[in-house]
């Protein structure tokens, strides 16, 4: 390790920047975040940089670099477009034992700027010592996805309560207390955006420092998307890593399930045609029971939990039982599968509206408003419609849609096993049988399907 990561306090300290262009401005923004007093030297200085200097209470020197100016700074940044000037600044600064950074010239630097993840008072620096800055930015992106944007709120709360904790309990007890704060119900409340409730729990715990309150269970209702783990939201990923137990559906892909915390208990509650591993009422009650045990329960669903996912029924029972819950939307199958199949759900020339419809058979029949569905200028997306595909196509034709209306099946959409079968209302049932299409498969009907061949970009 050539570069030792250190945290340098620049608050109200003079930081000298040689250069007045875009690169200098970028460094000035970062220093200004740390509260530095900016001193800028350059023949020409950009407007934004001028504003930053004025805000910091610093100084502008509209002139060529002169060695004597180094006396005005505690650290130096060489950010001109002239490598020779940057090299001279570096040599002069090092001769005075001043920390110096020369932009894009690691050999001229005594310190480098890491790629930074910031959450309030928390900052994480990722440095490659100038060897691979793009790699550092990629690592930063991964950390940004994992760390809650409310982590800074939690740190600020801890800072505000630090003295009170010192007074309330002996030193030996403090570490366990703070571990409870950062991994227990206080952190959960802050993560959910309930800062006031988190503060109340922390203050309540200080009244009885010998024993922390029992952890309160909570349910996370999370949409896992149509299959590709890259389509998960940042929030979904964070809650998946926090859960103690996960109840998951058949439509949750193996790749998405792999991102759940490894030591979490896993309970399969998926449903197939004519087979339910656990009836819906039992699932609802199981969520309540597990939360009452103080567990953080992840209810992981394919797609979006509020679009044919029965998520509303589940949180309705949680609300009745007084169980706290969070809902994280996911990319629904219609959006994800259509996008990966190159089929825009709306298009100015083909469809001005889109309808999501359940194709699930009840007692072997489909009871749908066929007259409304068989209207031109709209896209129809049928969920769970593979079994009733022949009925869907027949009814749409009988109620006015031409048999030549384009239609498609997207099997296992957004995954490496995705297949797209394209035909029309007349041919699609036959094609599905010939090609042995299996669930999960989404049915899309409308003129937009005709764009599949031209717009298809996903090659699994």
Listing DSSP states for 162-226 in one string gives HHHHHHHS-HHHHHHHHHHHHHSHHHHHHHTT-HHHHHHHHHHHHHSTTSPPPPPPEEEEEE-BS
Q: Which of 94, 93, 133 is nearest to 114 (CA)?
A: 133
Does 331 show up as a binding residue in the annotation?
no
Q: Which residues of 76-108 are buried (b: 16+ CB within 10 A; e: fewer)?
A: bbbbbeeeebbebbbebbeeeebbbbbbeeeeb
Does 17 show up as a binding residue in the annotation?
no
Does 413 show up as a binding residue in the annotation?
yes
Catalytic site residue 271?
A: yes
CA gap 169, 147 in Å, rounded: 30
Q: State the residue for tokens 């309705």.
A: 316
333: Cβ–Cβ under 8 A, 6 or more apart, which residues?
Answer: 226, 302, 303, 383, 413, 440, 442
Q: Catalytic one among 249, 295, 301, 424?
A: 249
- The helix/strand/coil state of 93 is helix
CA gap 250, 415 in Å, rounded: 14
- The dihedrals phi and psi of 50, each to the nearest 5 degrees, come to -60, -45
Does 122 show up as a binding residue in the annotation?
no
Alpha-carbon distance values, 192 to 17, 189, 201, 284, 416 (Å): 41, 5, 14, 21, 34
Residue 220 near residue 297 (C-beta atoms within 8 A): yes
Residue 246's DSSP bridge partners are 266, 298
Does 73 show up as a binding residue in the annotation?
no
CA gap 28, 72 in Å, rounded: 16
Does 227 show up as a binding residue in the annotation?
no
Does 170 show up as a binding residue in the annotation?
no
Does 405 show up as a binding residue in the annotation?
no
Does 43 show up as a binding residue in the annotation?
yes
CA gap 318, 9 in Å, rounded: 48
Does 391 show up as a binding residue in the annotation?
no
Does 226 show up as a binding residue in the annotation?
yes
Q: Which of 3, 311, 281 is nearest to 127 (CA)?
A: 3
Distance of CA 104 to the CA centre of its chain: 31
Binding residues: 22-23, 43-44, 226, 302-304, 307, 332-333, 384, 413
Binding residues for S-adenosyl-L-methionine: 226, 302-304, 307, 332-333, 384, 413
Kindly list the catalytic residues: 249, 271
Binding residues for NAD(+): 22-23, 43-44
């Amino acid at each position: 390790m050539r570069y030792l990561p250190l945290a340098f306090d620049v608050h109200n300290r003079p930081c000298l920047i040689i250069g007045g262009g875009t690169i200098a401005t970028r460094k000035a923004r970062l220093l200004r975040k740390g509260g530095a007093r900016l001193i800028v030297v350059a023949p020409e200085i950009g407007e934004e940089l001028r504003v930053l200097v004025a805000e910091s209470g610093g100084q502008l020197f509209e002139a060529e670099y002169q060695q004597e100016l180094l006396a005005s700074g505690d650290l130096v940044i060489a950010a001109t477009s002239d490598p020779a000037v940057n090299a001279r600044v570096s040599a002069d600064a090092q001769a005075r034992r001043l920390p110096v950074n020369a932009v894009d010239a690691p050999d001229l630097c005594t310190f480098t700027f890491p790629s930074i993840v910031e959450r309030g008072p928390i900052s994480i620096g990722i440095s490659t010592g100038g060897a691979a800055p793009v790699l550092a930015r990629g690592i930063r992106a991964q950390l940004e996805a994992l760390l809650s944007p409310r982590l800074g709120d939690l740190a600020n709360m801890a800072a505000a309560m630090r003295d009170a904790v010192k007074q309330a309990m002996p030193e030996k007890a403090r570490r366990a207390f703070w571990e409870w704060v950062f991994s227990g119900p206080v952190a959960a409340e802050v993560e959910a955006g309930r800062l006031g409730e988190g503060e109340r729990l922390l203050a309540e715990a200080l009244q009885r420092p010998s024993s922390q309150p029992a952890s309160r269970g909570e349910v996370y209702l999370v949409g896992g998307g149509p299959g590709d783990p890259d389509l998960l939201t940042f929030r979904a990923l964070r809650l998946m890593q926090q859960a103690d137990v996960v109840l998951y559906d058949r439509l949750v892909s193996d790749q998405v399930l792999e991102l759940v915390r490894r030591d979490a208990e896993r309970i399969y509650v998926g449903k197939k045609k004519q087979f339910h591993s656990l009836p819906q009422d039992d699932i609802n009650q199981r969520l309540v029971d597990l939360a009452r045990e103080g567990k953080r329960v992840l209810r992981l669903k394919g797609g979006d939990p509020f679009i044919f996912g029965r998520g509303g029924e589940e949180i309705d029972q949680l609300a009745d039982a007084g169980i706290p819950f969070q809902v994280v939307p996911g990319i629904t199958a219609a959006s994800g599968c259509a996008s990966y199949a190159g089929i825009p759900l709306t298009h100015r020339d083909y469809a001005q509206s889109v309808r999501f419809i359940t194709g699930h058979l009840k007692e072997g029949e489909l009871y749908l408003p066929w007259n409304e569905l068989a209207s031109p200028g709209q896209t129809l997306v049928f969920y769970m419609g593979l079994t009733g595909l022949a009925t869907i196509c027949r009814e749409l034709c009988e109620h006015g849609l031409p048999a030549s209306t384009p239609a498609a099946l997207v099997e296992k959409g957004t995954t490496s096993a995705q297949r797209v079968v394209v035909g029309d209302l007349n041919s699609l049932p036959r094609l599905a049988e010939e090609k042995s299409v299996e669930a999960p498969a989404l049915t899309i009907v409308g003129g937009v399907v005709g764009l599949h061949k031209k717009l298809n970009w996903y090659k699994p």
